[in-house]
Amino acid sequence: MRGKRKLGGWLFLALAILAQAATALVEPALARQALAAFLTMLGEVAPVLALVLVLMYLTERFLTPERTRAWLGHDSGLRGWLLAVLAGVISTGPVYTWYALLADLRRKGMRTALVAVVLYARAIKLPLLPLLAHYFGLTYMVVLSLFIAAFSIVNGLAMERLVRQPAAE
């Protein structure tokens, strides 16, 4: 399965390059515009990807599967839930940049529910809370944030019932 997935990624990359090359032959101006848009997007995503790669390195280096299971596994208790909500709230950048890190932590023993909690709790954006309070009021901001945090846990529990936990390393 893993070999097929890697091959699929390379095939997709090859098809994307071929499509860009074909576009360059037929419509060079459009190809330049597409390349410029890609480079702009790459420039925006690269810093977050670099941060995620550093975090992945640090987790690989210092976060053993035993420690991951203790902090974020099935027996992590309230601490695991709070860490997952906090991680979701403070995480920044595009969500897809965090998928690799969360998948790595999940392989090391992070609960499936807590992965879902991190992804769901990302809806709470710390830099935007003052703006939310300004437009909707402090009570609305607090209640909405608490609801998002609470429902991230409900969502995590639902995901854990629906999705099988992979075997930890």
Average pLDDT over residues 10-38: 93
CA torsion, ordered 164, 167, 168, 169, to nearest 10 deg: -150
- Residue keyed to tokens 């607090």: 142
Q: What is the pLDDT of residues 97-124, one digit of tens each?
A: 889 889 988 988 899 999 999 999 999 9
Please tell me the predicted confidence (pLDDT) of residue 135.
93
pTM of the model: 0.66
Residue 3 pLDDT exceeds 60: no
In whole angstroms, give the CA distance from residue 24 to residue 38. Answer: 14
In whole angstroms, give the CA distance from residue 85 to residue 76. Answer: 13
Distance of CA 112 to the CA centre of its chain: 13
Q: How confident is the model at residue 159 (pLDDT cuts 50, 70, 90)?
A: very high
3-state class of 122 per DSSP? coil
How is the chain split into domains, by residue range?
Answer: 1-45
Distance of CA 163 to the CA centre of its chain: 17
**In the structure encoding, which two tokens stand for residue 91, read together?**
């995480």
Please tell me the predicted confidence (pLDDT) of residue 4.
55
In whole angstroms, give the CA distance from residue 108 to residue 70. Answer: 11
Q: What is the pLDDT of residues 27-69, one digit of tens each?
A: 999 999 999 999 999 898 888 778 878 887 887 787 777 777 8
